[in-house]
């Protein structure tokens, strides 16, 4: 299949916003991704996205950051208490798995072994979703994903679904106020105020997709940001102090790390009809368009001659460029979790006491400022050799746990 690679910031930007290009990265992973929000196109996508956006009503991001996040982090930290060095990868995955499950609407008992089980299932879903990159036999992988789906549906989805159906029935009878309903995606999909056709299988895959979408990307982004910041601070206490005393600066530094480490270095698209891209390249539905997000984020014409370096003081061009570049995508499929994870971009008059910082900056702040993390001497972090994304397999840090 002919491949067309798109690299410059403007060209990737335009391709992401082009309504005649449809998602194609997950075609081979249909067993877990078919008919989920990320793979839908056109009217079907607009309608599903409209429904999903209902979860963000009534100041949801603030509620998530101020209520859901602190409780989930405190519980997870409790499970990791005393483990010194702390493996940031394990901690990050555990906390973000629980945060994402809260967002998706999957109830848990809070038992750490249950989190590990959910992580294992979601790992398998991710393997299935990116089947196109796998060297494994697709038939074997497909049956493993089906088994994982069965386990997730039986032990996680079904009990969560039944609890919400009971609460929705109480609400419909007028016996319970609306604000007693859980604020999560499963409740929104079950309530289905837009009356969309959602089969049981689609509902199951949609919630499984949310579990994937939010957890690993957030955990990996957190570890990349801590790594960048520890190296940037190395031996320079003034820099560490700047991060500890100025939460808006810390958030800005996290945005810079997000720019350098997009969760997926590429997005894939396919034209729905023959067309000519603004660059002058003609493409047909047979072509695979590889949108290189990592290259776009390192475009020197936009981010300056040191674009490949971590520089938390980076000045952006006057035109509307986000400090995290195209890491969260753009256009109709732009990341629904962006504001949750990256927070709002501070403006010149932003006050830190009323600001929404985002999950990644909040986690980095806990690790660096509250726990005082430093690299563990003689035990360097290790990259995941199976990942082309440069993610970390282990990231040991020495921390100061607060007294329980």
Q: How far is the CB of 252 from ligand HEM (least distance, A)?
A: 16
Return the residue of 103, 303, 357, 395 that touches ligand HEM, per CB under 6 A: 103
Q: Which is nearer to ligand HEM, 95 or 340 (CB)?
A: 340
Q: Any contact of residue 290 with ligand HEM (CB under 6 A)?
A: no
Q: Which is nearer to ligand HEM, 142 or 217 (CB)?
A: 217
Q: Any contact of residue 31 with ligand HEM (CB under 6 A)?
A: no
Q: Are strands 3-6 and 288-292 parallel, antiparallel or unpaired?
A: parallel
# binding residues, ligand HEM (CB under 6 A): 26
Nearest CA to 98 out of 82, 112, 85 is that of: 112
Stretch that binds ligand HEM, among 123-131, 187-195, 213-221, 371-379 (CB under 6 A): 213-221
Stretch that binds ligand HEM, among 262-270, 296-304, 311-319, 378-386 (CB under 6 A): 262-270
Interface pattern 346-365 for ligand HEM (x via CB under 6 A): --------------x-----
Q: Buried (b) or exposed (e) across 269-300, using 16+ Cβ within 10 A?
A: bbbeeeeebeeeeebeeebbbbbbbbbbbbbe
- What are the distances in angstroms from CA 361 to CA 88, 282, 344, 395? 14, 41, 11, 18
Nearest CA to 55 out of 189, 174, 212 is that of: 189
- As a dihedral over the C-alpha atoms of residue 95, residue 96, residue 101, residue 102, rounded to 10 degrees, the angle is 70
Distance between CA atoms of 139 and 274, rounded to whole angstroms? Answer: 33
Q: How far is the CB of 236 from ligand HEM (least distance, A)?
A: 27
Q: How far is the CB of 6 from ligand HEM (least distance, A)?
A: 13
Q: What's the start-to-end Cα distance of the chain, in Å? A: 58
Return the residue of 105, 128, 214, 312 that touches ligand HEM, per CB under 6 A: 214
Q: Any contact of residue 37 with ligand HEM (CB under 6 A)?
A: yes
Q: How far is CA 331 from the centre of its chain?
A: 17
Q: How far is CA 228 from the centre of its chain?
A: 19
Residue with tokens 């034209």: 271
Interface pattern 294-333 for ligand HEM (x via CB under 6 A): ---------------------------------xxx---x
Q: Which is nearer to ligand HEM, 212 or 376 (CB)?
A: 212
Task: Give backbone dihedrals phi and psi of 233, rounded to 5 degrees, phi first.
Answer: -80, -15
Window 158 to 197, contacts with ligand HEM (CB under 6 A): none
- Sites of contact with ligand HEM (CB under 6 A): 23, 37-38, 49, 100, 103, 210, 213-214, 217-218, 221, 262-264, 267, 327-329, 333, 335-337, 340-341, 360
């Amino acid at each position: 299949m002919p491949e067309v690679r798109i690299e410059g910031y403007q060209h990737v930007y335009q391709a992401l916003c082009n309504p005649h290009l449809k998602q194609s990265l997950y075609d081979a992973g249909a067993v877990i991704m078919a008919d989920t929000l990320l793979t839908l196109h056109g009217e079907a996508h607009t309608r599903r996205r409209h429904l999903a956006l209902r979860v963000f009503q009534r100041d949801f991001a603030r509620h998530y950051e101020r209520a859901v996040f602190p409780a989930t982090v405190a519980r997870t930290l409790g499970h990791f208490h005393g483990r010194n060095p702390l493996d940031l990868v394990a901690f990050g995955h555990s906390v973000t798995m629980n945060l994402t499950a809260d967002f998706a609407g999957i109830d848990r008992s809070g038992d750490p072994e249950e989190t590990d089980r959910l992580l294992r299932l979601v790992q398998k879903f991710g393997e299935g979703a990116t089947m196109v990159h796998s060297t494994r036999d697709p038939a074997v992988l497909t049956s493993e994903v089906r088994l994982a789906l069965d386990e997730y549906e039986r032990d996680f989805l079904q009990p969560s679904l039944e609890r919400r159906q009971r609460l929705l029935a109480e609400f419909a009878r007028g016996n319970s106020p609306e604000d007693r309903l859980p604020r999560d995606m499963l409740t929104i999909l079950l309530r289905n105020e837009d009356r969309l056709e959602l089969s049981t299988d689609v509902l199951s895959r949609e919630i499984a997709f949310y579990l994937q979408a939010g957890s690993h990307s957030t955990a990996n982004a957190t570890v990349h940001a801590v790594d960048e910041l520890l190296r940037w601070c190395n031996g320079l206490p003034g820099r560490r102090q700047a991060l500890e005393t100025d939460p808006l600066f810390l958030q800005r530094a996290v945005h810079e790390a997000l720019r350098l480490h997009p969760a997926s270095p590429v997005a894939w698209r396919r034209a729905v009809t023959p067309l000519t891209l603004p660059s002058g390249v003609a493409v047909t539905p047979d072509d695979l368009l590889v949108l290189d997000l990592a290259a776009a984020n390192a475009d020197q014409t936009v981010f300056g001659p040191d674009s490949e370096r971590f520089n938390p003081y980076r000045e952006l061009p006057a035109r509307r460029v986000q400090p995290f570049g195209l890491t969260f995508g753009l256009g109709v499929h732009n990341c629904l979790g962006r504001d949750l994870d990256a927070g709002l971009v501070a403006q010149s008059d932003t006050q830190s006491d009323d600001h929404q910082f985002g999950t990644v900056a909040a986690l980095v702040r806990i690790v660096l400022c509250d726990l005082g993390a430093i690299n563990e001497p003689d035990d360097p972090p290790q990259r995941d050799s199976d990942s082309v994304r440069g993610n970390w397999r282990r990231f040991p840090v020495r921390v100061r746990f607060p007294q329980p």
